[in-house]
Structure 1
């Protein structure tokens, strides 16, 4: 399957990016549901970087690797999303990073300069396309951008000998994405799960355990929400229809669109939304919706009526991923930092703070020492039964991406 990798975005793709910036995960910080995203204006500017014709879509640029200065320079430059790392009470220190430095002597220059995948790609693309150092040894990007960077040949293959904990402790459900078989170039930072959330009080005795329940129960008319992210909403619908999101056809996609369109036309679906569904859900304006698990964890803590369900048909997952750009000066140090976060104790410290899906096996016992509730929360530490129900959306060709986004934009009215 040809991986989607355009330099020019179609109008539908531009609309999808803008929709994501207004309403999607990019619009809300990784830790706070209430903090408005900082990436909107910058990310819109990043569209120009994707669509501009001045930089060719270089692939497999020569000399991806460069001299590794790790032995002489005990440092590593790590670019991450905002609010995606543990912090102390002062809000100034990152305890897990400090412990890494004390143990290894490697100083981490940690920068929260990723607000959105599109904007960040626009920021690093000129250097990568020119075969130059980005000034970063380690970056964290979502599946689709990780896939693009790998296909372009703009990131370095990882040295397994420097990643013993990562190799051993990576959870099975994250081991085999079609865009990086065997995790030769990337390791997950955190997982992102898409589930069904509901407000028990608003349901008023009605049961919601599946997408079919959401779409077919007339008592829930106008009180159902779906996400404005195509892969999440279509993926959950495909699963409910008995289709595999990793193997679906054009006809399957069209059938999912038609099913949702019928519910839109009938007024069953209130709206397609991003993180702002959280307010409607807590108030009871939405009885049930497709939701991101990281939101649900935080909502449950504040609103006891809010809960979630994993449909028997399964749920969607994606990951934010750690990669080493070409020409990075400190490749070995970056690999050591990746491996460090696959040790159970540092992984537990991180999971306890950010509340996303931990991709590290063996972390539960350590997390229980810090936060027993988190350790027993399947949205953070999926048990075997839940992990078995996880599904990932397959890679798309440029033609598919354009066609699918156009159809989804028409459905949502974007």
Structure 2
């Protein structure tokens, strides 16, 4: 059972309840293109595997231009207690490296953000950003289409040494040289034990009589179907078309029987808090915030295994400051820095060694499984399999036919 964060200091619980949920801001749907042009930066090359034009990165001006433009999600960087615009760990990076970071939390939705930058990138034009953080399923498509720069891991010793083993060699980035996980999270079960007893398996969630009509599932296909695949004894990280169809059929049965009320994005959060729904598929970051307000609202990693997701830091192909970007990413893969960041954001930390560092200043929080899953929990975690464009279209179409999207 996960350790409750209700013993955290009041000021930290207050920050948790006030911060927006990062994962809860996601929306379903495909990538969209947006019009607009900026000054050209880079040249077109040969077509990538995704059919989009690949670009040749511009000359790296990092040595002469100690600057960096960074787009991220809200609530994903530590803030000073008296000034939300001051980020202590980033200020220390600037003091040490001399690199001034222009940081903007303007990624409120994968598709919305991609709509702002895709047209420029497709034409090899600057998007005025040197780092951007996108969710793993979106990041895979962006990398596939040739819109990012490869990481020079020889310049990232902390990243090479400290990337958590559970994130190494995944199908979405087998060589770990295309994207750097900024934060990770778990997809599992959220339960309001004010209105029902704990739920420990997906089978329970979808069949227990007292839960009928009081359950919701997620509109994010990889998250819901990852849990469904685990529930039929298959792995979200490697499955066949038949496996997917069988898992979908199991979900369809629960929908048709009226057991599942609906599919939602972040809508489930308030309903779960109020007890309007008893249990649901949920994102760990959402539930840890609810738990800070009401310890009886709990996140449970299902016995069949949770799904592990990440939001990935990417260097756009048009960035002229790639070395600066890699230096910043490597800074946050120092376990001591990662521990301080994780103490604020409370998502699953992607940095090995950060738990030991956090234990030095907050031993209770360092034992929270929603931040540092135990070795036993890690064995059951799977990252949803990387899909070809054709497979993704097929699977999304089937899923959306069931959810009514």
Give the alignment's TM-score, normalised by structure 1: 0.84
Cα offset, 1:188, TM superposition: 0.3
1:241 matches 2:232: yes
1:86 corresponds to: 78
1:289 matches 2:280: yes
**Structure 1 327/284 Cα, relative in aligned 2: closer, same or farther at 3 Å?**
closer
User: Are the aligned partners of 1:174 and 1:359 in contact in 2 as well (CA < 8 Å)?
Assistant: yes
User: Are the aligned partners of 2:147 and 2:316 in contact in 1 as well (CA < 8 Å)?
Assistant: yes
1:98 corresponds to: 91
Structure-to-structure mapping, 1:381-392, within 5 angstroms: 381-392=372-383
Query: Secondary structure of 2:298's match?
Result: strand
1:66 matches 2:51: no
2:128 corresponds to: 135
Aligned counterparts of 1:83 and 1:186: Cα–Cα separation in 2: 20
**Structure 1 63/197 Cα, relative in aligned 2: closer, same or farther at 3 Å?**
closer
User: Are the aligned partners of 1:30 and 1:354 in contact in 2 as well (CA < 8 Å)?
Assistant: no
Aligned counterparts of 1:160 and 1:48: Cα–Cα separation in 2: 31
User: Are the aligned partners of 2:339 and 2:354 in contact in 1 as well (CA < 8 Å)?
Assistant: yes
Query: Secondary structure of 1:202's match?
Result: coil
Aligned counterparts of 1:36 and 1:310: Cα–Cα separation in 2: 18
1:49 corresponds to: 34
**Structure 1 264/147 Cα, relative in aligned 2: closer, same or farther at 3 Å?**
same
1:303 matches 2:303: no
1:29-80 Cα offsets, whole Å, 9 max, x none, are: 993259996x98xx99973539xxxxxx952856522221111111111111
Cα offset, 1:322, TM superposition: 1.1
User: Are the aligned partners of 2:68 and 2:101 in contact in 1 as well (CA < 8 Å)?
Assistant: yes
**Structure 1 277/200 Cα, relative in aligned 2: closer, same or farther at 3 Å?**
same
Of 130, 137, 140, 1:144 maps to 137
User: Are the aligned partners of 2:202 and 2:231 in contact in 1 as well (CA < 8 Å)?
Assistant: yes
User: Are the aligned partners of 2:24 and 2:265 in contact in 1 as well (CA < 8 Å)?
Assistant: no
**Structure 1 192/123 Cα, relative in aligned 2: closer, same or farther at 3 Å?**
same
**5+ residue gaps in structure 1?**
1-28, 51-56
User: Are the aligned partners of 2:215 and 2:277 in contact in 1 as well (CA < 8 Å)?
Assistant: yes
Aligned counterparts of 1:63 and 1:303: Cα–Cα separation in 2: 50
Alignment RMSD, CA only? 2.8
1:31 matches 2:19: yes
For this pair of structures, how many residues does the alignment match?
377
1:108 matches 2:96: no
User: Are the aligned partners of 2:221 and 2:399 in contact in 1 as well (CA < 8 Å)?
Assistant: yes
Query: Secondary structure of 1:320's match?
Result: strand
Of 320, 335, 338, 2:329 maps to 338
Of 67, 78, 82, 1:75 maps to 67
User: Are the aligned partners of 2:33 and 2:114 in contact in 1 as well (CA < 8 Å)?
Assistant: no
1:233-264 Cα offsets, whole Å, 9 max, x none, are: 11101101001112222222221221111111
Aligned counterparts of 1:81 and 1:148: Cα–Cα separation in 2: 19
1:364 corresponds to: 355
**Structure 1 413/342 Cα, relative in aligned 2: closer, same or farther at 3 Å?**
same
Of 305, 310, 316, 1:319 maps to 310
**Structure 1 379/76 Cα, relative in aligned 2: closer, same or farther at 3 Å?**
same
Query: Secondary structure of 2:191's match?
Result: strand
**Structure 1 34/95 Cα, relative in aligned 2: closer, same or farther at 3 Å?**
closer
1:173-206 Cα offsets, whole Å, 9 max, x none, are: 1112213212111110000210112122311xx4
**5+ residue gaps in structure 2?**
1-16, 36-45
Give the alignment's TM-score, normalised by structure 2: 0.86
1:397 matches 2:388: yes
Aligned counterparts of 2:184 and 2:168: Cα–Cα separation in 1: 12
Aligned counterparts of 1:34 and 1:405: Cα–Cα separation in 2: 22
1:124 matches 2:109: no
